[in-house]
Structure 1
């Protein structure tokens, strides 16, 4: 089946587009490019494009609630294949300003941990076992 369209950007609403783009640049790489005070684009190495849009009156999602005032989606980020890589990635995102939401990996039985970015959007660091 031929696609109708391709994804151009994943856009996150936030109160401060520049600050959130800088956070994700430190986490994922790339250099934020501000088109104006209300729209900043981050082209992540590998072709992914995240954009950050100012939303006045922004209210962060509430994780793990599933009602209408809660998250609409979240990002899963590959933090490596070992627990040491996962721990190192966790230390870095917390130092960059991420907030812990659910760090219980159930003694190594669960391959993800959940955080909030500085604007409150949930994201996961995932341990991806190499094939």
Structure 2
């Protein structure tokens, strides 16, 4: 092993807003916050999602290849239909069946939790 994952850093126009969104979606706390960098993780010693200020961030336009998705998260849930209203209330927008975008426009998918998880 050469190293281990520290964080997946996601560019966005407002790190605090996007961190609060994913904190609520994933049920994980915000473990670090500054004006331009916010982290959501299990604790301050574990890897997680980091949200980085990108003032000129351009929203992805999924599925338009001229403004690609850049990255996406697959989020396991017990029941995608039950999770949808909660996501929409937090500020997500539905793009397609089980495909949503977060408040900064990054697509993410709801995946039914497999039996092994």
Q: Is the 8 A contact 1:25 1:44 kept in 2?
A: no
* Residue aligned with 1:10, SS: strand
Shift of 1:13: 0.5
* Residue aligned with 1:90, SS: helix
Question: Would the alpha carbon gap of residues 5 and 66 (structure 1) be closer, same or farther in structure 2, given more than 3 Å must change?
Answer: farther
Does residue 89 of the first structure (1) align with residue 83 of the second (2)?
yes
Matches within 5 A, 1:10-21: 10-21=8-19
How far apart, in 1, do the equivalents of 2:88 and 2:34 lie? 28
How far apart, in 2, do the equivalents of 1:121 and 1:8 lie? 20
CA RMSD of aligned residues (A): 1.6
Correspondence for 1:129 among 104, 110, 114:
114
* Residue aligned with 1:89, SS: helix
Shift of 1:29: 1.3
How far apart, in 2, do the equivalents of 1:116 and 1:21 lie? 14
Q: How many residues align?
A: 114
> What is aligned with 2:70?
72
Runs of 4+ residues deviating >3 angstroms: none
> What is aligned with 2:4?
6
* Residue aligned with 2:28, SS: coil
Does residue 119 of the first structure (1) align with residue 104 of the second (2)?
yes
Question: Would the alpha carbon gap of residues 36 and 43 (structure 1) be closer, same or farther in structure 2, given more than 3 Å must change?
Answer: same
How far apart, in 2, do the equivalents of 1:29 and 1:116 lie? 18
Question: Would the alpha carbon gap of residues 101 and 48 (structure 1) be closer, same or farther in structure 2, given more than 3 Å must change?
Answer: farther
Q: Is the 8 A contact 2:5 2:47 kept in 1?
A: no
